[in-house]
Structure 1
Amino acid sequence: MIAIKNKDLLDYINPQFKNIPSIKFILTEDVNDFAKDSIIKPQQDPIKFMHYNSYLNKKDIKITTTQFSKLLNCSYDYLGCDEATLDFVRYLMIDTFLNQEILHDIKQLEFINQIEYIYTHLYYLEQARSNPEKYPLASVVMSCHNRDYYLLVSVQHVLQQTYVNWELLISDDGSSNPKTLQILQLIQNIPRSRGEFVAIQDDDDIMMPFRLEYQIDFLKRNPEYEVCASAYMPVTEIGVPKYYASNYVHSFDEAKALFMQVNFAAHSTFTVRMTDRMKKYYIYNHQTAYDYSLWLKLLFDLENEDIRFFSLPRHVTGIRVHSQRMSHNSYEYSHYQKWIPLKQIEIAEKISPDIYENASYQYYQHQQFELQKKIFACIYHQGSLQKLLTNIGQLKDFVDNFIIVYVLTPSEYQIMNEIFNNPMFSDYQSKNTLHIIKVTGTRYKGYIDSELPNIFTRLLEDKNLQDQDYILLSNTSEFINPFQLKRFYQLSQDFGIFGLRYLQSVDKEDYLYQKTKIISYHLFRNIGYKAIREYVIDEDIFKLVPQPRFEDKLYTLFINGEYLNVNTMKDAGIFIDDCQNYQPSLANKPNYKDNTFSAPSQKRKLENFYISSNDIFQSYCGINIEDKNNYVKTEL
């Protein structure tokens, strides 16, 4: 049966094949009706009942009611019958072939092929029963969701395997389609996998008849491997190959290196030997990209287990490309696209902590065009000019433009000339923007809080930024480790949260200042200055996983209606809120060796940043160290 979209073409073609009853053309829209007819329970089909009953009476063949029911069920697919009924079907087909007066040549060939297929299938069943060690049980695991026609065909592919000792387990993901439910009712499900091998098969994919035999044979001959995949063919909705994908690798090391960059093996090509440790670790526990996340866990997170993987050259699966694929779900696809880079970064930095120091993540992904990004630092300041210069001085080599909102009280108006004449602003007017706010009275704080978001938003709009540019939001009491900032930039994440230690309690790890943020300009426009500054990760997220509430980690989180890659940076700097309280402890810190030649990954650590920045903090707070036991406070 062949489906055709054009009705005029259908009317033209059908008469050409009217003398060949084995070929029939139907409209594409009738495919669902064809599928529905194919899955009607045989016991409910009076035509088949009368036909079979008449044939058996004519031959004077006596069978029980139970046997007759099994025979009717075999009309679904004779390879789904039990052995006794299948042997009976073979006898009936041979009898029909020998005694039918008129059989077309095509029909004769079809009968011969089916009889031979049944004979071969029964032979292998006997071999598997008599020699179970040679034919261990394989569990074929399939998930389905509202794709009745594809499911029907996929089950038939399993039934046609040359390896016969298998069980089929189907997990229905909440199907509401009654035709899908009818198919499931026809199949005996086993509640738990018992096989020595597990083969993955999606309900919309095509399984080549030799797949199980081919892959299980490899795993039996190569006991050092516990997982194998094979090449696959992307196919159209009706199963026509689009091209032949080759993912053959020559060694385990080559496969492992490829997995660091891309999920190069299709989910429906995997067969796994279920050893004790695979029973422990072979668990899908990720929202999307569940197969890729599992392979990365087995190969890298559990690297000490030395779980070995291989990819074979033969094409064992046809992957259907169609609109109902689960991977076409917009939210799932968005999450997949966001999460994969995070895992790849995590693995790469585990191998080489400084791998992204001089080349970005996009560079290693061989992207043809990498968007150039700039960092615009939006800094709020109130106080002495020296404090402002101290803060931005540590970032000037890492930030492209500074946008500074400087609040002056009446007693500070006289320093305006000093501010505008400073080289930081007078010599770099095109690069740095200074916005002065003069305030009077004691109730200006509420005004500043309400107007600051609008001021920064307006000043950024004047800069003609690109969507991919980054906006750093901070004030001059927030000292960011510039090497943490550089790493964020190199990783090209969407949103960064800097966790800063309070200087007066720098030894306490649990209490972090989290208002310092960096975000893409596209997201800044959508979310807004105030919401970004006040954003904190919901603590409930961390109740489901055994890890701290805030750590140096990459996450994919759902924020403001979309999935974003969020980089939380624990101990990424120092927050100074009260110089008076911390001065003695700062002044009494011993002298340390120079960290100039430390590796970037070491410079990102809090203790090294704190050590190397002591002079900066002292300058900010007006401390003049004359010796390591005494300090003199100087006015700025």
Structure 2
Amino acid sequence: MKNNGKSIVLEKAPMVSIIMPSFNCEDTIVESVNSVLSQTYKNWELIIVDDASTDDTWRVVSRFVDEYDRIKAYSNSENKGAGWCRNFAIEKARGRFIAFLDSDDLWKEDKIEKQISFMLENNYALTYTYYQRLDGSDVLDIVKAPLETDYNKLLFSNVIGCLTAVYDTKKLGKRYMPLIRKRQDMALWLHILKDIPTAHCLPEVLASYRYNNGMSSNKLKVLSYQWELYRKVIGLGLMKSLFVFSVYAYKGFLKHR
């Protein structure tokens, strides 16, 4: 495994635990899992937690489990939300590194290889990458991120795409998401950034996010989740919440114009 002219012996490469919640995703999860199976980095496990799907998702997942020892799967008897599913998978994880991939998103085949090399060579605890947004098979745009971010910067804009994030349990221990319906990932990054000075970006497009126009278009609901994050989860005071929320909303307006 090579990165920036250096190499890591694959046999000694640390395990990466890949966290995948699923819900009614029979049409997309096969491609998502296949993007894990095609990784050039081989020391990984995939933990899928199905959130009481009502379609054939569980049957599809079960076929993967039967065929591949490195894929583990669990099924909820009732819908508990993506945050709960991710936390359950993190609890089961055996790897040094925790990575996240939703059941409708995709990774480039060298995503984990490049990112783990990047983290080990630079002694980073939390990293992320660029990604592209897809509408079907069409690329809408490339989402770039700053080369580093800290707690105060992240408050105003979540530049860490969940499908690109990896954190190191050797440095941070296992970290879990708050049990809120939305914005769990941003809350987790903020909690981690209270304990480390910065998170770092590998500036390459290594993942693909499927853009859901219907979900993304409900801006008022999204903003309500963001307000809940600032006030109830992060615990910001009223005045600071108003300031940070205003900047966040304005940046979102500019982004989606």
Q: Per the shorter chain, which TM-score range?
A: 0.7 to 0.9
Tell me how far apart the structure 1 counterparts of residues 21 and 151 of structure 2 sit (CA, whole Å): 27
Counterpart check, 1:169 vs 2:47: yes
Q: Note the C-alpha offset of 1:340.
A: 3.7
* Aligned pairs for 1:72-471 within 5 A: 128=10, 131-132=11-12, 135-177=13-55, 179-188=56-65, 189-190=71-72, 192-223=92-123, 225-236=124-135, 238-249=136-147, 251=148, 254-275=149-170, 277-279=172-174, 282-287=175-180, 288-299=182-193, 303=194, 305-306=195-196, 308-322=198-212, 333=222, 335-342=224-231, 346-347=235-236, 364-365=247-248, 367=250
Residues 345 and 269 (structure 1 numbering): CA distance in 2 closer, same or farther, change over 3 Å?
Answer: closer
**How big is the alpha-carbon RMSD for the aligned residues of Structure 1 and Structure 2?**
3.1
Please say if residues 28 and 103 of structure 2, whose CA atoms lie closer than 8 Å, have aligned partners that are also in contact: yes
Q: Note the C-alpha offset of 1:284.
A: 1.3
Q: Note the C-alpha offset of 1:202.
A: 0.5
How many aligned positions are there?
Answer: 219
Unaligned runs of 5+ in 2: 1-8, 66-70, 74-91, 252-257
Residues 227 and 313 (structure 1 numbering): CA distance in 2 closer, same or farther, change over 3 Å?
Answer: same
User: Under a length normalisation based on structure 1, what TM-score does the superposition of the two structures give?
Assistant: 0.32
Residues 330 and 274 (structure 1 numbering): CA distance in 2 closer, same or farther, change over 3 Å?
Answer: same
Tell me how far apart the structure 2 counterparts of residues 360 and 331 of structure 1 sit (CA, whole Å): 18
Tell me how far apart the structure 1 counterparts of residues 94 and 197 of structure 2 sit (CA, whole Å): 21
| Structure 1 segments of 4+ aligned residues over 4 angstroms from their partners | 327-332, 343-347, 353-356, 359-366
Q: For residue 173 of structure 2, give the secondary structure of its aligned residue in structure 1.
A: helix
Give, as a single letter, the amino acid of the residue that structure 2 aligns with 1:313: P
Q: Note the C-alpha offset of 1:313.
A: 0.8
Q: For residue 140 of structure 2, give the secondary structure of its aligned residue in structure 1.
A: coil
Q: For residue 250 of structure 2, give the secondary structure of its aligned residue in structure 1.
A: coil
Please say if residues 230 and 248 of structure 1, whose CA atoms lie closer than 8 Å, have aligned partners that are also in contact: no
- Rg comparison, structure with higher value: 1
Q: For residue 275 of structure 1, give the secondary structure of its aligned residue in structure 2.
A: helix
Q: For residue 186 of structure 1, give the secondary structure of its aligned residue in structure 2.
A: helix
Q: Note the C-alpha offset of 1:166.
A: 1.2
Say which structure, 1 or 2, has more relative contact order (CA 8 Å, 6+ apart). 2
Q: Note the C-alpha offset of 1:257.
A: 3.5
Give, as a single letter, the amino acid of the residue that structure 2 aligns with 1:246: K
Q: Note the C-alpha offset of 1:362.
A: 6.3
Q: Note the C-alpha offset of 1:324.
A: 7.3
Q: For residue 260 of structure 1, give the secondary structure of its aligned residue in structure 2.
A: helix
Structure 1 partner of 2:84: none
Give, as a single letter, the amino acid of the residue that structure 1 aligns with 2:99: A
Give, as a single letter, the amino acid of the residue that structure 1 aligns with 2:211: V
Tell me how far apart the structure 1 counterparts of residues 103 and 64 of structure 2 sit (CA, whole Å): 14
Unaligned runs of 5+ in 1: 1-126, 369-636
Tell me how far apart the structure 1 counterparts of residues 46 and 220 of structure 2 sit (CA, whole Å): 30
Tell me how far apart the structure 1 counterparts of residues 48 and 214 of structure 2 sit (CA, whole Å): 18
1:205-254 CA distance string (max 9 Å, x none):
1111111011100111122x211011111111x232101111032x4xx4
Please say if residues 284 and 294 of structure 1, whose CA atoms lie closer than 8 Å, have aligned partners that are also in contact: yes
Give, as a single letter, the amino acid of the residue that structure 2 aligns with 1:201: L
Q: Note the C-alpha offset of 1:276.
A: 6.1
